[in-house]
Amino acid sequence: MHAPAVDAAWYDAGTNERPEPAQSVLPRYWSSQQRRSPLSLLVVPPLRRCQTAVAKMTTSVPRPGPANLGPNAGLDEWLEEAKQCHYLPERAMKELCEKVKEILMEESNIQPVCTPVTVCGDIHGQFYDLLELFRVAGGMPGETNVQAPKSATAVITSEDIEPPTEITNPKLRKKLKSPGGGGDSGDAEGDEDGEEEQQGAVDVPAVNTVTSSQSAETRFVFLGDYVDRGYFSLEAFTLLMCLKAKYPDRIVLVRGNHESRQITQVYGFYEECQQKYGNASVWKACCHVFDFLVLAAIVDGELLCVHGGLSPEIRTIDQIRVVARAQEIPHEGAFCDLVWSDPDDIDTWAVSPRGAGWLFGDKVATEFNHVNGLKLIARAHQLVNEGYKYHFDESSVVTVWSAPNYCYRCGNVASIMTVDNDLAPKFSIFSAVPDDQRHVPASRRSPGDYFL
């Protein structure tokens, strides 16, 4: 059973892009210049606003650029440079990729993780928001002097509000505070018109505002899509690899659909590596790391973490354990479905408009959880304006989204999900860092080049 190719409109915005294995993956109506410029998919803030932000920039904000390493620099020095948004020299980057690949080769397709755990959704090269994510979480592994978050932060539990079950109108913040206040729903898939209507900023709900303090035992599970679309895919993935190399038991890197040779050649990571190194060798080294990223993680045996969703070819989690993962993501089959599928308001299965993976419904998720003794499936892969979203009557699936103000234009908040030994999820909601707390690449595209 497999998903047939769909010759339909182009889907994007982190919710509906599709690869086309036998043809070009670019829209037919793009100009030749647009086809040559995958980074034109990135949105650039207006020049005047950028200039104002630079004028306000404090010296404590990491300034992007090449790393300045000594001849005997090792992992500790690489990590410190990565925290400053510095990309490593080509030789060091290849060595880092080899170190991480060796660690990943020892991990199973479904990596077991013990609580306490922080689950993180899509990052998409938004480096400064990744730093904010760690501040909200209480710091990176091994970090002792943790700064306070730059934006307002709220921790939401079931005692505060009912988790949002629909993608709601951003203006309905007050309704989110009352149980059952789902509000008006938008298009969960987010086509061009739907996303344009949702560009207004989403306020952080004013509940239990706190500064998180991380346990020394906290582990991080990242659900994939580390690269593409954002300005600093290379630096974001480098930071995560450095943390994985130094703290292998505290960082789990799950594979997303963007950890792929085909997709990264279209959505920016390939061109970014070309611009910064003058060749594709680092991109190739990163792609080899992609091939060994785990397919899923399981928290205390009861919470499954995966990038996309379920597959009609997989009934038990043991079937995930035997998938051959050390390869480019196939265009169909169980592996493809795990990184491409989405939950939807249906009973069983439907063809996905993405052209890869499937739409799966309430009955499928409930049965899968029952058969495998799971309480919840946590996944990413879809933009959610409120940062997280429960699906289905049984709340058997939750989407976690960790890229605030996605593509620097969507106005959404982001979340991370923390789980302690009671397996009761708590969501820390945060916004994008202010303009004066981030840098924008000098080589950014002009607004006229933006195309979605």
Name residue 414's beta-bridge partners. 430
C-alpha–C-alpha distance, residues 9 and 452, integer Å = 12
Helix and strand numbers, DSSP H then E, in the chain: 14, 17
Phi-psi region of 207 (alpha: psi -120 to 50; beta: other; left: phi over 0): beta
- By the 10 Å C-beta count (0-12 exposed, 13-18 middle, 19+ buried), 128 is classed as buried
Distance (Å, rounded) from C-alpha 450 to C-alpha 239?
27
Catalytic residues: 258
The closest of 187, 129, 155, 136 to 385, measured between CA atoms, is: 187
58 φ, ψ to 5°? -90, 160
> Over the Cα atoms of the chain, what is R_g?
20
Smallest Cα–Cα separation from 427: which of 393, 376, 392, 364?
376
| Token pair recorded at residue 187 | 């298009």
Give me the count of residues in the chain: 452
State both tokens at 181. 């206040």
Report residue 66: phi and psi, to 5°. -70, 150
> Distances in Å between the alpha carbon of 295 and those of 71, 178, 255, 306?
36, 37, 6, 7
Distance of alpha carbon 397 from alpha carbon 362, whole angstroms: 9
What separation in angstroms does the CA of 287 have from each of 184, 259, 277, 340, 415?
41, 7, 15, 18, 27
Contacts with 446 (C-beta within 8 Å, 6 or more apart), sequence order? 44
